[in-house]
Amino acid sequence: MADAYSRDLERWIPRLIAVWRQARRKGDGPETRLTPQEIKEVGAGVKQLSHGLTRERQLAGAKYMDDPRLLGAYLLFYWPVSYAQARQALGELPNRPRQVLDLGSGPGPLAFAALDAGAAEVTAADRSKPALTLARALAAEAGEALATREWDPTRKAAPPEGQFDLITMGHVLNELYGTGDGVTAPRAALLEQLLTQVKKNGSLLVMEPALRETSRALLKVRDVLVGKGYGVRAPCMFRGNCPALLKESDWCHAERSWPMPRVVEELARAAGLHKESLKMSYLVVAPKGEAWPELPRGRLFRIVSEPLEGKGRQRYIGCGPEGRVGLAMQDKHRTEKNERFFKLHRGDVIAVTETEPKGDGFALDDRSEVRIVAQAGRGVPPPSPEEEPRPTAPTPQGSDPLP
């Protein structure tokens, strides 16, 4: 999966470095690398941004993009991360979007990811003028056409007009309308308004940090939309209220391997961070009136945990049309037809047979078959034409009925 965009990502690194050096009007250096002094300087900005956006979150919603030092740190560290996350998420869309609107774009990682993935017309919108200036500089450096607009939904400024195949919002929803329980309604209302600008068969993609707080906040917004009849294209296959919200300690996020560029690796080291894998919470919503995607036949589960190895057995949390459940198999039950179970990744979608209810879910045994339906980062394929329609899944207790 990573190979599909790793060359594109690699090509962005000298552009990011060149635009950053131009913006600060200081210093020459190697095209594809930062000097040790630059690493030290930018690494301090990355550390400050990381603390401000993840720990106390005092920077969430603040105008950090207007501080040249923090904007530089964003450009050289978080930009490649968001770009790679977006390329992964775009891989799950059912079709290639042509017209794209990227809201809360910052310096445009999602906008450029969409262009590299084949979009023809992309508009990036944000409230930060300096971030949009950098996005335009990157477009010039790459020879890409990118339109930019100022946009701030909290000031009731309407988004750019028009209908789009895809609207993206990368790590911005959690910065809108403050914090606390009151944020769900205005965030859901904003997404609902934006969904009126998504064309038939198009999508709204929302990516958020994989923190418990921001992930759960996104799941609550999801539940409002699902309750109003919107279909989720990814990652959910469960059509009721999100079962991860039942327990305060649960949340839902994706984790993918990625071709981490050297500059990100060096900055992560300087800032004392880890970015070996990409983690994010995300949601792809279909416009109003469109049904949930039809699923292939079989008992499907998306793996939503890391492997939870125990003594003599393998275990994961799976989430599918039946809800969120534990899935476990003892090593002694390994056969040719189920051995894939022992090598699953978070995000993989599997079909299983022959399960027995056990504990918080199901136990698989030597009669069980385990088949990969979609690898993490790939869309779940529709049923093949010869398959009969899938029966409606029962709704587990404590959840709303299927819409």
Ligand X SMILES: C[S@@+](CC[C@H](N)C(=O)[O-])C[C@H]1O[C@@H](n2cnc3c(N)ncnc32)[C@H](O)[C@@H]1O
Contacting positions for ligand X (CB under 6 A): 61, 65, 78, 82, 104-106, 109-110, 126-128, 131, 151-154, 170-172, 175-176
Spatial distance between the Cα atoms of 187 and 191, rounded to a whole number of angstroms: 6
> Strands across the sheet with 313-320, in order?
355-358, 361-364, 323-330, 313-320, 299-303, 349-352, 370-374
- Residue for token digits 């690796």? 265
By beta-carbon proximity to ligand X, the closer residue of 238 and 282 is 282
In the complex, minimum distance from the CB of residue 376 to ligand X, in angstroms, rounded to a whole number:
20
By beta-carbon proximity to ligand X, the closer residue of 147 and 402 is 147
Question: Tokens standing for 7?
Answer: 């060359």
In the complex, minimum distance from the CB of residue 64 to ligand X, in angstroms, rounded to a whole number:
8
Spatial distance between the Cα atoms of 118 and 123, rounded to a whole number of angstroms: 14
Contacts of 68 (CB under 8 A, 6+ apart): 23, 24, 130
By beta-carbon proximity to ligand X, the closer residue of 152 and 192 is 152
Helix (H, G, I), strand (E, B) or coil at 39: helix
By beta-carbon proximity to ligand X, the closer residue of 128 and 281 is 128
In the complex, minimum distance from the CB of residue 90 to ligand X, in angstroms, rounded to a whole number:
13
Contact 279, 255 (CB under 8 A): yes
By beta-carbon proximity to ligand X, the closer residue of 176 and 372 is 176
In the complex, minimum distance from the CB of residue 107 to ligand X, in angstroms, rounded to a whole number:
7
In the complex, minimum distance from the CB of residue 174 to ligand X, in angstroms, rounded to a whole number:
8
Spatial distance between the Cα atoms of 262 and 207, rounded to a whole number of angstroms: 24
By beta-carbon proximity to ligand X, the closer residue of 62 and 245 is 62
By beta-carbon proximity to ligand X, the closer residue of 63 and 367 is 63
Closest CA to 273 of 54, 122, 64: 54
The DSSP code sequence of 268-336 is HHHHT---SEEEEEEEEEPPTTPPPPP--SSEEEEE-S----BTTEEEEEEEETTEEEEEEEEGGG--T
By beta-carbon proximity to ligand X, the closer residue of 45 and 243 is 45
Contact 66, 93 (CB under 8 A): no
In the complex, minimum distance from the CB of residue 232 to ligand X, in angstroms, rounded to a whole number:
20
| SS3 labels along 160-187 | CCCCEEEEEEECCHHHCCCCCHHHHHHH
Contact 155, 84 (CB under 8 A): no
By beta-carbon proximity to ligand X, the closer residue of 61 and 383 is 61
In the complex, minimum distance from the CB of residue 211 to ligand X, in angstroms, rounded to a whole number:
12
In the complex, minimum distance from the CB of residue 103 to ligand X, in angstroms, rounded to a whole number:
7
Residue nearest ligand X, Cβ-based:
170
In the complex, minimum distance from the CB of residue 244 to ligand X, in angstroms, rounded to a whole number:
22
Spatial distance between the Cα atoms of 258 and 378, rounded to a whole number of angstroms: 14
